[in-house]
Amino acid sequence: MKIGTAMTNLRNTFRTSVYIKIIDNITGQLRHRMESYSSLGTRFEIFKDLHDKDPHKINVEAKRLAELYPNDLDIDYLINKCLHFQGYMKFENIKYLKECFAYISNNDLKSTFPNLKIAMRIFLTIPVTSCSAERGFPALNRIKSEMRSTMGEGKLNSLMILYTASDVTSNVDLNSIFFFFNLVSSASTTTAISLVFCVGFVTVSQRHFRNSTVN
């Protein structure tokens, strides 16, 4: 009887302390994501059914988008180009944003619709900005395995950064890093700062030499 009661208490504790908290967290994150997607859809509503949109709605939605990106988009110019490009869409039977972007790029119309292409590029590249965060979740299972169960948070975060930025870290010269840290570990603070400056100067000089050689 006591064993059964203890198991029931453990089950209830797990349910209230772990299971329900996980479900609440997942629900909250999904709700937050849906709100973000809804906000994004409202922000770029100008591109929804642009081929068949009323000129007044184009005016309102293009103005809203340009106000959100004042450093990249001009309000009056964007409105005029959206109205202008609508004629292309109807004539070429173009309906979707990716088709619009491809049409402008393939027909060398960038100079004709510069603001419109910038707005399209902003929208189409937004998913890319969350890729590193998304692919970090499956990477976590590979990095913090059963053999590394005692790994600290600081080291785990560092390894996650190295893994998600593997396209950069794979091209790093490890011998130079080992040599640099060996010098720093045996040098004073002033000397270490000087070494950092020297290494940075040499790296920039090497890149400049490579670029000048290629060009």
Sketch the domain layout of the chain as residue ranges: 1-42, 44-129, 171-215
What token pair was written down for 55?
A: 């000129």
124-133 CB burial, b ≥16 within 10 A, e <16? eeeeeeeeee
Amino acid 178: pLDDT = 73
- The CA distance from 157 to 201, in Å, is 29
The pLDDT of residue 187 is above 50: yes
pLDDT-derived band at 180 (thresholds 50, 70, 90) equals confident
Q: What contacts 183, CB < 8 A, 6 or more positions away?
A: 192, 195
pLDDT in tens, 62-84: 999 999 898 889 999 999 999 99
Distances (CA, A) of 134 to 123, 137, 140, 144, 175: 18, 6, 11, 17, 32
Question: Which tens digit of pLDDT belongs to each residue from 81-113?
Answer: 999 999 889 888 988 888 899 999 899 888 889
Cα–Cα distances in Å, from 168 out to 1, 144, 165?
60, 22, 6
7-11, 52-56, 170-174, 211-215 — which is least confidently predicted?
Answer: 211-215
Cα separation, 125 vs 120, whole angstroms: 9
In this prediction the pTM is: 0.51
